[in-house]
Chain A
Amino acid sequence: MSDRLFAQQSAEDWLRTTEGRKVSSTRSLRGAMVLALVTIVIGLIMLSFGEPYQQRLAFAAYVNIVVVVGLQIFMGNSNVANLSHAGFMGIGAYMTAVLSTPLAMKAMQIPDAPFGLATTEYSVVPTVFISLVVVAVVALITGMIVARLNGIAATIVTLALLIIIHSVFEHWSELFRGNQAFFGIPKEANLEWGIVAGALAIIVARLFKDSRAGVQLRACADNELAARAMGVNVWRMRLVAWVLGGTICGVGGILFSYYMGTINARSFHFHQVFLTLAMLILGGMRTVTGAVLGVIVLSVGMEMIRYVEGGPLIVGIQFPEMLGLSGLALGVIIVGCMIWRPNGLMANLELDEVLGQYGKLGRWLRPRSMVLDSEGPPRAGARDGKTSKN
Chain B
Amino acid sequence: MSAPFAGGAIRAYRAERRKLHAQLSTRVLALVCGLGPLAFGAVLSGQSGVPGDTLLGGWVHSSGYAFSLVVLGFAGYLGFPLVAGALAGDVFSCEDRYGTWKTILTRSGSRGEVFAGKVLAAGALACALLALATASSLIAGLLFVGGHSMVGLGGTVVGSGEALLLVLASWLLNLPGLLGFAALALLLSAATRNGIAGVLGPLLAGLLMQLLALVGSGTWMHFLLLSSTFDDWHGLLTSPRFYSALVLGTVVALAWTAACLWVTWRVLRRREFAGPPLSRRAGWVAPARVVLMASGVVVALAALGNVGPTGITSQRLEASMGRVFERLTLLQQRELGRSVPADAKLNLRTKCQRHSGQTSGPGDDWTCTMTVVSPLAGYEPYQLTAVTYDVSVKSNGCYKAEAPPTFVGQQTMVDAEHRSVVNPLFIVYGCFDTTGEAPRCAERAGCAGSRSGGTPVNGSGAPAKAPSAREKASTRQAERSSGGVVRETERSERELEQSAKGKKSSEESTQLNLGR
Question: Are A and B genuine complex partners?
Answer: no
A residues at B contact (CB < 8 Å): none
